[in-house]
Amino acid sequence: MKRALNRTICKRCAILLALLAGGGTAGAWANPTIFSDPVGDAVIRKTDSGSVGPIDPVSQHLPDIVEIRLGKFAPYEAEDDRFTGSWDNSGLFMRLDLVVKGLINPPGPLGYDDQSPVYQPFRFGPNPIYGWIELDMDNNENTGGEIEDPELRYLSNAARFGGRPQLPYLANRCAIDFSAFDGYFTTPPFIERSGEEFHVALQGEEIEHVHVIVEKPGGNPAIFESGETWVVDGRLFHRCHGAEQFTYQCADRNSVYKPEVKMKYAHDVVSDRTTISLVYPLTNQGCAVMNGEYAEPMNGCDDDQNSIAEALEDCNWAAANATVFDHLDPHFVLLADWQNENYASYLDPNLWRLTALVGTAYGTQPADGSRYIWTDIWPNVRRGDFNGDCKLDSADLNLLNSYITAHDGSPYYDDDGKPYNQSLHIHYFGTCPALYDTDNDGVIHAADGLLGGDMNLSLSVDLADVPDFVQALLDPVVYVNTHGGVDPMLRGDMNCDGFLDGLDIQLFIGRLLNP
């Protein structure tokens, strides 16, 4: 009884001290930053050679991002349940919610390590999700990144979805074809330099324990099923790998900061959405509240009290105390700018930038060892938008034709005076992205060019597009339901302002009359 009372007093003191240290008062309600994505835009983008690996999209749901929520969070009882609470400006935790369409379950191991050497993606159910959510906390794309496996991140795969991102700092660094993967860190487009300080790792190898919170009556306790809620434990939240060779963990160089965290998977039957949530302390004071302890000084160790602040402070210390040899290492650019930064300036999740790449796994592992089938990204791209301005117009078609000409021969005739076929078979189809192969058929040709208003993808805007355009304008819900879940904005939003309105009508008519 005395031990329980002392623990309660200690816990309440820790909460009070943490609130004082946080410089705020409880109840400062806030809203998270919401990153929305069109529903129904998930597609199959395989990564095996030739893109021939097995998948059954009927029985295996494709992860489809609906939205991502990110902000400060205050759990009501962090020690007992960190996921129940409120978005709060004075919260000591960051919360990230990834909302996906349908029933999606935690990922099983893919045979990466000795502990889980077997390919078992469906250990927890038939609809696993894999991928990475990268968090750029200092809004600096030159700090942080991935050196060992950049081909598994957003910058290396955005082009698989048929367009460039509209944010310049992403568009200019995205791989557009196999040439980006030359193995040299110092050559453009710098796919290794994503700017992330931390990333969420949706990887089965990192899951250590599973706790079933809500079980479907009569269900299988080993499988994540409709209406269920699970909490998985593991090292699912990593500081960026690219700078770890210069940072310290408990005074050791070449260390990794991979704290053990909890992640909640909850499927809502009514909305048919699965929400994957991570709640993690921004400061060691928050970690103290979560553990029912007094706050400890920051020491760079992830196996005692750990937090965003501690990991970033370690980046600052490592950059400021780097050796001469560190500065000569090309990879040091991923850490260098932290030398003059104050970690406390970057503890507001509402100001962070993020990218997300999600997908599923093959039914059976392909012979070449490939593991992932990518299905959706954020920020999204518009299929056929090759310059990242969101519009589908002649500028994009010119880029497509220029790419074909440059790789199919120039001028347009071969040595025998015969015209080239203006068609390219893709090098490393499947294993590398191909920006201009918008239909993902392994060939780049005129059919990959799209125009705004081409509602039926016939490669022209004509009278056949009028009924679909009118339907998208007047009844977008019916359009979505009759076009396989395709968002009408992807084809009908002519000026890319996020609305279907009179301006789009004018542009549509103009293109109709002047093709």
pLDDT bracket for residue 33 (50, 70, 90): very high
Distance (Å, whole) CA 125 – CA 403: 42
The stretch 238-264 carries a mean pLDDT of 88
List the beta strands (DSSP E) in 396-502: 424-425, 443-444
Distance (Å, whole) CA 155 – CA 144: 13
- Residue appearing with tokens 């082009």: 159
pLDDT bracket for residue 73 (50, 70, 90): very high
Spatial contact of 445 and 426, defined as CB atoms under 8 Å apart: no
What are the CA-CA distances from residue 434 to residues 48, 160, 161, 366, 414 (Å)? 14, 6, 9, 21, 25
Does the CA dihedral 121-155-449-472 come out positive or negative? positive
pLDDT bracket for residue 481 (50, 70, 90): confident
pLDDT the model gives residue 28: 61
pLDDT digits 0-9 by tens, 149-192: 999 999 999 999 999 999 999 999 999 999 999 999 999 999 99
| Longest CA–CA separation in the chain, Å | 95
Distance (Å, whole) CA 468 – CA 451: 15
Alpha helix ranges (H) inside 256-413: 284-291, 308-320, 324-328, 333-336, 394-408
pLDDT the model gives residue 29: 67
**Bridge partners (DSSP) listed for residue 136:** 353
More confident residue, 321 or 456: 321
Distance (Å, whole) CA 221 – CA 182: 46
- How many degrees, rounded to 5, is the angle at CA 96 between CA 90 and CA 101? 145
Q: Determine the number of helices (DSSP H) and then strands (DSSP E) in the chain.
A: 12, 18
pTM of the entire structure?
0.88
pLDDT digits 0-9 by tens, 34-55: 999 988 889 999 999 999 999 9
Q: 324 CB contacts (<8 Å, ≥6 apart)?
A: none
- Altogether, the residues listed in the chain come to a count of 515
pLDDT the model gives residue 160: 97
- Type of residue at 264: K
pLDDT digits 0-9 by tens, 296-322: 999 999 999 999 999 999 999 999 999
pLDDT the model gives residue 473: 87
pLDDT bracket for residue 278 (50, 70, 90): very high
